[in-house]
Amino acid sequence: MFSGMVAAIGRIRSVRPFEVEAGRLPLADVKVGDSICVQGVCLTVTAKRGKALRFDVSQETLRVTTGLDRTGEVNLEKALRFGDRIGGHLVTGHVDGVGVVVKRQGNLLEVKVPRSLGRYVARKGSICIDGVSLTVNRVQGLVFEVNLIPHTLKVTTMKRLAPGAKVNLEMDPAARYRKKPARPSPARKRGEDSDDIERAVYDGMQDLRAEKERKPE
């Protein structure tokens, strides 16, 4: 899991093999088998050499994402550990679809989502664009708007986005669980299903944290 808080901007040096120059991302605790979020995509480290990381990228991953099939700058984030601060929102690194930038005006960015994902975008909800956790300001049909603050533009690849650019999108996982079933059971009150799921997720995270605190250092 990740938080959508980009730690560094890296650069894809080659596609075959897929190798990324990690830039300012600290690699002292990174080892083969670890997960790294690369431009919003969760990839597994297969080799480490100096500041360079190698990953295996399948044809399926290339088919459902954008930006990994060519050299260039990418957003990087290491996987979270239990107890880490979550500055954005929980991100899995499993891209749901590719969106298209339709407008860029100052710090405002408008993106069109695939029709199948439109129901998961909500005003003031979270969304992950190219590995960056952002808050949705406005939604109109399949187009949503986010605000890019100067800091985000400085420390991520978002500054290069222009109309027509494609971006990796991941919906807020909570949005999937909050979606009401097509035919809710008449025996349950409206909203109880989503409340139960949210409560179970919260309780599970609390149990894991408590277990971690009980373990000796």
**Residue 98: is its pLDDT beyond 90?**
yes
Q: Which residues contact 139 (CB under 8 A, 6 or more apart)?
A: 121, 122, 123, 145
Q: 85's torsion region: left (phi>0), alpha (psi -120 to 50) or beta?
A: beta
pLDDT at 100 (0 to 100): 98
Fold of 8-78: Elongation Factor Tu (Ef-tu); domain 3 (2.40.30)
The average pLDDT across 185-203 equals: 50
Q: What is the pLDDT of residues 142-174, one digit of tens each?
A: 999 999 999 999 999 999 999 999 999 999 988
pLDDT tens-digit readout, 1-14: 999 999 999 999 99
Tell me the CATH class for 97-177. Answer: mainly beta
Query: What is the pLDDT, as a whole number, of residue 193?
Result: 47
Q: What percent of the chain has pLDDT over 90?
A: 74
pLDDT single digits (tens) 10-28: 999 999 999 999 999 999 9
Say which residues have a Cβ less than 8 Å from residue 150's Cβ, sequence separation at least 6.
107
pLDDT score of 180 more than 50: no
31-55 residue pLDDT tens: 999 999 999 999 999 999 999 999 9
Residue with the larger pLDDT of the pair 122 and 84: 122
Judge if 8-78 and 97-177 fold alike in CATH terms. Answer: yes
The torsion region of residue 124 among left (phi > 0), alpha (psi -120 to 50) and beta comes to: left
User: How big is the CA angle at 75 (ends 74 and 81), to the nearest 5 degrees?
Assistant: 140
Q: Range with the lowest mean pLDDT among 73-82, 99-108, 146-155, 183-192?
A: 183-192
Model pTM score: 0.81
pLDDT above 70 (res 198): no
